[in-house]
Structure 1
């Protein structure tokens, strides 16, 4: 009977340890900006960071509502998009309600970077593949519909200007800034 009690106590200790580790992991996960679509706790940001209503420090929010703080050069993922009428970009661009040729240096920015249309029709500079190119912001890549928080969705012309071989088009880690 003593052996059973010792095993039972060992089992309880292991179970308690697993609960403590899981609790710590969940608290750590909730305190960071990670995957899209989770409820996360906002961190305090320096005064330059613009918050959406749901991004108040210490409050829960959907992760697509907050993005990393912007600086002189912002890290992002460059993706490929067609802004033409029958392209994969969907409807007309939200900044000017027009379609654009793939040969034009244009981009769509994820919701937070788009900044409530403040970057509409403005130029940004993209740094990637050892080159840089200026492109006009013509659309939003809606983060509430699956676009990650740090996306620069670019036309074929942007990829060509950065000198990326066509076989490698799709995703590329880049930096960008307002031009």
Structure 2
């Protein structure tokens, strides 16, 4: 299955912007140079993607990344995450390790 996404950069290190306690799938932090992602509600498929690797293609390259978190794109963010508004269902938050590839 191919889905067009918007890839964003985030941090799942301790204190990082992408770390939340409510929606963690794997309850641990991740170094920014690792290939892991968080999927927005539309890509998440009701937990079907938990612990699976997804392939991200762009600019003639591809990278496999482990899905370790979920961003509830329908509700927006809490005070810890600057009250950002809900995002589209095709957002994938990726660590710098994904972008380096």
State if a TM-score over 0.5 links the two structures: yes
CA separation in 2, counterparts of 1:86 and 1:109? Answer: 19
Select 1:149's aligned residue among 86, 89, 94: 89
Listed as ranges, the matches of 1:1-179 within 5 Å are 72-92=1-21, 94-144=24-74, 145=76, 146-161=86-101
The Cα offsets for residues 86-145 of structure 1, whole Å up to 9 and x where unpaired, read as: 111132561111111101100011112111211111000000121000000001121121
The structure with the larger Rg is 1
CA separation in 1, counterparts of 2:87 and 2:19? Answer: 14
Q: Considering only aligned residues, what root-mean-square deviation do their CA atoms show, in Å?
A: 1.3
**Stretches of 4+ aligned residues off by more than 6 angstroms:** none
TM-score, normalising length: structure 1: 0.48
TM-score, normalising length: structure 2: 0.82
1:147 deviates by 2.4
Q: Greater share of helix residues, 1 or 2?
A: 1
**Number of aligned residue pairs:** 90
1:80 deviates by 0.5
- Name stretches of at least 5 consecutive residues in structure 1 with no aligned partner: 1-71, 162-179
